[in-house]
Structure 1
Amino acid sequence: MLAESRDVLVAPDRVAGAHVISLRGLHDVILMDDGMQNPFISKTFSIGIFDGSVGIGNGFLIPAGPLRVSLASGVQQMDIALINGDDETNIAAKLPASLTQLSANLLPDPSTIDALSGTPVLAFAGIGQPKRFFATLRKAGCNLVHYLAFADHHPYSETDLVRLQEDAMRLGAQLVTTQKDWVRLPAEWRERIVVLPVALALDDDGALVTHVESAINAHQNS
């Protein structure tokens, strides 16, 4: 999905991948997902993201729990903690007072929501927290008549999609999915399924920009 609008390099060895980007000399910044899991690359700035509805969950690492690194290890690496959605588990109180905390929410594309107005919706998603997607649809006022959650990064088969279409036809509903799921669909299925773009809206985006720019400037001047 990111490759549609940004330069993306995929490398099984992230150190080697970062080295390739550096040698090409075309980019000033490397943005890496799940970077705290990799101890072999020195990071200029690290953002820890928490799902407000889950927090640290049971405190265990994936797959036993929701964490990618332990909380103790993570907070030592974080420059900022970002809580996505309402802080239902009071994760803010579990973080060090010295750690900068920001809040954000996922906002659905209003034109897509308007187009779905009055239409029964069958939603499906194969992402880390599919219930957040379904909750977003409900909160936006969509008539969610049914939903199906698949495993994260689920590779949709023809059988999956035919079943979804049959369920939608039975319910008189429009199939709707996430951007991450939509790009994994076969091309011939994409026009039949509505994709709901979302944007991350920070309560104070200026603070994030200031922190990141300060870190980059300090790195360049070191």
Structure 2
Amino acid sequence: MAGGCRRGQCVSERGRLKSVDAVIVNGGVPRSGEIPMHLLPGQAVNLRTGTRCDVAQLEHVVAMAGIGHPPRFFATLKMCGVQPEKCVPLADHQSLNHADVSALVSAGQTLVMTEKDAVKCRAFAEENWWYLPVDAQLSGDEPAKLLTQLTSLASGN
């Protein structure tokens, strides 16, 4: 599927890479000229109240993720000190509703999801539903060059 996205990964024809200004790589080993990016988890956020806390403070966690590679989210939780009682991978871009999501947790359990899933669940969230935001961090010398290019493009130069 050239030029489109499937299973959470964008795919383009190899020749297209010669015409882009930058390639940002999330994970793996970047090649020369590619910009490495890593996702850094923040504090967990309660969907109902907006309260924030260290995700490791949450107990009896059930983790759900409807992203391109759910095991990455589950590994991030474990890296943060959370050992989920259950991990529920969902399809990327899957529609979510209250009945299906609330059925994932029992009384006394806490649901932790991706920020992407939280956007879909905010309207019907329960008090024990949290999400873990992540921030993209670019590293190396390339981000400064990219910022210069973007600034130049934005100013019309």
User: If the TM-score is normalised by the length of the shorter chain, which range does it land in?
Assistant: 0.7 to 0.9
Residue equivalent to 1:195 = 131
Residue equivalent to 1:149 = 89
Residue equivalent to 1:213 = 148
Residue equivalent to 1:62 = 6
The one of 104, 110, 116 equivalent to 1:174 is: 110
Q: Structure 2: which amino acid aligns with 1:203? A: S
Q: What is the deviation of 1:118?
A: 6.2
Query: Structure 1: which 5+ residue stretches go unaligned?
Result: 1-35, 39-60
Paired residues in the alignment total: 148
TM-score (norm 1): 0.56
The structure having more radius of gyration, on CA atoms, is: 1
Q: What is the deviation of 1:120?
A: 2.6
Q: Which runs of 4+ in 1 moved over 6 A?
A: none
Match of 2:85, SS state, is strand
Residue equivalent to 1:37 = 3
Classify 1:113/1:136 alpha carbon distance in 2 versus 1 (closer, same or farther; 3 Å).
farther
Within 5 Å, give how 1:50-89 maps onto structure 2.
62=6, 66-70=9-13, 72-85=14-27, 87=28
In structure 2, how many angstroms separate the alpha carbons of the residues matched to 1:156 and 1:103?
32
Classify 1:215/1:66 alpha carbon distance in 2 versus 1 (closer, same or farther; 3 Å).
closer
Q: Deviations over 1:39-93 (max 9, x none)?
A: xxxxxxxxxxxxxxxxxxxxxx736x944213x13422332222213x1xx5x4x
Match of 2:104, SS state, is helix
Q: Deviations over 1:2-61 (max 9, x none)?
A: xxxxxxxxxxxxxxxxxxxxxxxxxxxxxxxxxx938xxxxxxxxxxxxxxxxxxxxxx7
For the aligned residue pairs, the C-alpha RMSD in angstroms reads 3.0
Q: What is the deviation of 1:165?
A: 2.5
Query: For the Cα contact (< 8 Å) 1:182–1:190, is it kept in 2?
Result: no
Q: Which has the higher contact order (CA 8 A, sep 6+)?
A: 2
Q: Deviations over 1:120-178 (max 9, x none)?
A: 31110112222211111111111222111111121112331231133xx3xx4310011
Instruction: Identify, as 1 or 2, the structure richer in helix.
Output: 1
Query: For the Cα contact (< 8 Å) 1:174–1:193, is it kept in 2?
Result: yes
Match of 1:156, SS state, is coil
Query: For the Cα contact (< 8 Å) 2:61–2:110, is it kept in 1?
Result: yes
Query: For the Cα contact (< 8 Å) 1:120–1:142, is it kept in 2?
Result: no
Q: What is the deviation of 1:212?
A: 3.2
Percent of aligned positions with the same letter in both sequences? 28
